[in-house]
Amino acid sequence: MSSKLSDINDLYIVMGQTKPSSAVVTAVTATGVDFQTCPNNNMFAVQVIGTVAGTETVFLGKIQEAPNITSGYTDISGAVFSTITSTTGAGIVQAINFQRTQPFLRYIASIVGTTAGVALDVLFLGQKGQLP
């Protein structure tokens, strides 16, 4: 059985993680997202970077998981996006695949640099079930 792009709503749970109205300048710790209804632990995350502004800016985003939405978050092994710098450019889309073991996920990022600023958006995709 093949799948089509129009099947995304049937096959995946898609949730946005952060949509700042302006560039993030120091760090971002997003609110947790509940994937308890997602029976499959195979996950994807997509990080979309807009403009990277500042001098010697270094930006690093990653995914964490927890047993509840408010506390206990720890890094997920391998759920780290490639480092972005002020010389990388804009319009960068990165996708990672990872396995979760806890029901709640969140995105966090650190930004270091002089007058740093990064415009970004992050999406989580959880597979609803196995394809036949």
Query: Which CATH number fits the domain that encloses residue 83?
Result: 2.60.120.660
Token pair listed for 84: 């972005």
- Taken in order 59, 121, 47, 119, is the CA torsion positive or negative? negative
Mean pLDDT, rounded, of the chain: 78
CA–CA dist 61, 111 (Å, integer): 9
pLDDT for 66 equals 96
Asked if residue 88 is part of any domain, the answer here is yes
Owning domain of residue 52: 13-127
Asked if residue 109 is part of any domain, the answer here is yes
The rounded percent of the chain whose pLDDT value lies above 90 is 28
Task: Please tell me what DSSP assigns to residue 11.
Answer: H
Asked if residue 4 is part of any domain, the answer here is no
Asked if residue 1 is part of any domain, the answer here is no
Asked if residue 7 is part of any domain, the answer here is no
If one counts the domains in the chain, the total is 1
Asked if residue 50 is part of any domain, the answer here is yes
Of 45, 32, 51, 114, which is closest to residue 80 (Cα–Cα)?
Answer: 45
pLDDT in tens, 48-89: 887 776 666 788 899 999 999 999 999 999 999 998 877 666
Asked if residue 132 is part of any domain, the answer here is no
CB contact at 8 A, 97 and 37 = no
